[in-house]
Each structure stands twice: as structure tokens, then as C-alpha cells.
Structure 1
Amino acid sequence: MKRIFVIFALFSFSFLIAQEGTNMKKTVTPPELVRVAFEKEYPGKTPVWYEEYVGDDNDEIRYEAKYNVNNTTKALAIYDNLGNMKAYELQIPLSKLPLKAQTYLKKNYQAKAIKEMAVVVDDKNQTTYEVGVKKDSKFYDLIFDKNGGFDVSIEKN
């Protein structure tokens, strides 16, 4: 139990640091359609907004609303420029990962290598799990399917 608490505490702290370190994006004020959609879905939450260009030619814009769910949990809601939610990411503890994913992580990574974990639901209602790990001075996002099966590892800058 003590180990799980330590891992969760480290994860929470690392999540904050990782978010600060990776967000070289400037904060923005989203279009009203986007802001209203967020406020309708998450009343009373105060987000910090960022924009990101995606797509094959970086021709699609996404607005990212990062906010605190509570004192220990962070979330990210991503919208297109018309206010349609494209994805939702919620920070979770190790115990909320599917058992298959937990087993994979324990077999392949030391506990201190695990930096952040989240459940992600996209606009097609597909659920995946993302685990940020650090290995050999590089940061990777490990993607697991809804059952915890390992899917892919993506190196992040």
C-alpha cells in the first residue's frame, strides 16, 4: 500500500512537471463555440487553454482545455474549432490501469520510470490508456488498448 501511495504521489508531481515542461504552447482564448461547449460539459471548472495544429499538413486546429478535476487529479479536454469534443484525457493512478497493462509495465519498466498515466476517450468513444515512461533519458508514451493490451510506444520530444 505504501509503495502504491509513493508511486501515485510521484506520478502526480511528475504529471505537473511534465505538463509544465512540455507546454511551450502559448495560452489562448478559444472561440466562443469552444468555450461554451466546455462550460456546458464541465460547469464550474477553470481551464487553461492552448491551441495545437494537427492533421497531415497541420491544417486543423485543436483547442486544449487543461483543468483540475480535484486537488490531485488533472484532465484535458480537446475540441475542434466548432466546439466538438475530439478527446478527453483523465489522469489516473496505476491501480486504475487494466491488470494486463500493469503486468506489462512491471515486467518492462522500473516503478521510478513511470511518470504519468491517463485514460483517454476519443470522439468515437474508443478508450485507450496512455502511460508516460522515461527510459535511457528519453520520454515515451506507451499506448494500451481498452483491455490493457500493449499497442504502441511513441517517443516524445
Structure 2
Amino acid sequence: MKKILLMITFLYSSFLIGQSGVSPDKVVTPPEKVVFTFQKEYPGKVPVWTLKYVGDDDDEIRYEAKFKTDKNTNALAIYDNLGVLKAFELQIPFSQLPQKAQTYLKKNYPASAIKESAVVVDDKNKTTYEVGIQKNAKFYDIVFDKNGGFDVIIEKD
């Protein structure tokens, strides 16, 4: 009887370990609606899907599709669980940022601190520009409005 209880305990433990949940940035397979919408909008592109929790209480799920638009340009499409596109981010060169944003960055940061830049269009068709900066071993996103006006700095983990 003790052997049977011991075997059941080990079996049960292995199931619990396997059910540890979905961690952020873990590669996942999104719902069919999400995959269908992505394939319709970006035919022939091969995404790497990750899952993020957002919202006030991390109660909303977002599926992020990272993919290449061409061999040198990265893109990110973010969907809710119903397949509605919530945002699209496209990597751009520094020279494609609005002039006002370029001036601000050149004045406040050395060129070596600028790691990436992107244009972001959300589900309300609002365009912003995000520039990734590394300063004092920390990574920040500096956000500019569509005209290049400074908006906010967001510290990244």
C-alpha cells in the first residue's frame, strides 16, 4: 500500500510540475482567430508568437507576433484573444524619425546610447515613435508623438 501511495504521489507531482502556467515571453500557439487574422494581414510571413498579460490587473491577454518584413527589418503585431490588431510596430532607421525627435535625441543622448527605433500604430490609428536607449546599464523606451514631440520615458526590464 505504501508503494502505491508513493507512486501516486510521484505521478501527481509530475502533473503539477507540468502545469506551472504560461510565463511571459514564452513561445506559444495563439487561438485560431489570431493566427487567421495574422495570415490574412501578413501573408507568407513566419511569426514567433509570445504571450503577454496587460491591463490594470494583468487580466488581458495579448499575443505578439514577431516577424521580419524583409531580411533587415523587424516588425511586431499585437493582437487580443479575438484576433483584433491592437498595435503594429515597425523597426525604422534613426533618419526616419521626425526631425524634432532627432534633434531632442542628439541633444540629450550620445549616438552610442541609441539601440533601436520604431514607428508604432495602435488600434485607434494613433502613431507614435519609440526609441530604445541604454543608459547606466538600464534600457529605456523614449516615446515621441507623431510630430516628434517628446511624450514619455518608459523603463524596461
TM class, shorter-length: 0.7 to 0.9
Distance 2:79 2:136 in 1: 34
Encode CA deviations 1:104-152: one digit per residue, 9 max, x unaligned: 0000000000001000000000000000001111111000000000001
Aligned AA (1:136): N
User: So what's the TM-score if we normalise by structure 2?
Assistant: 0.84
Task: Provide structure 2 residue ranges, at least 5 long, that are not aligned to the other structure.
Answer: 1-23
Counting matched residue pairs gives 135
Q: Which has the larger radius of gyration?
A: 2
Distance 2:96 2:126 in 1: 17
Question: 1:115 is matched with which residue?
Answer: 115
Distance 1:54 1:94 in 2: 29
Aligned AA (1:95): S
Matches within 5 A, 1:21-100: 25-100=25-100
Distance 2:62 2:27 in 1: 13
User: So what's the TM-score if we normalise by structure 1?
Assistant: 0.84
Encode CA deviations 1:75-100: one digit per residue, 9 max, x unaligned: 00000000000000000001110000
What is the identity percentage for the equivalent residue pairs of Structure 1 and Structure 2? 72
Aligned to 2:39, the other structure's residue is in SS state helix
RMSD: 1.1
Distance 2:61 2:50 in 1: 10
Aligned to 1:28, the other structure's residue is in SS state coil
Distance 2:156 2:27 in 1: 21
Distance 1:99 1:81 in 2: 37
Where has structure 1 moved over 6 Å in runs of 4 or more? none
Aligned AA (2:125): N
Shift of 1:25: 1.5
- Higher relative CO (CA 8 A, sep ≥ 6), structure 1 or 2? 1
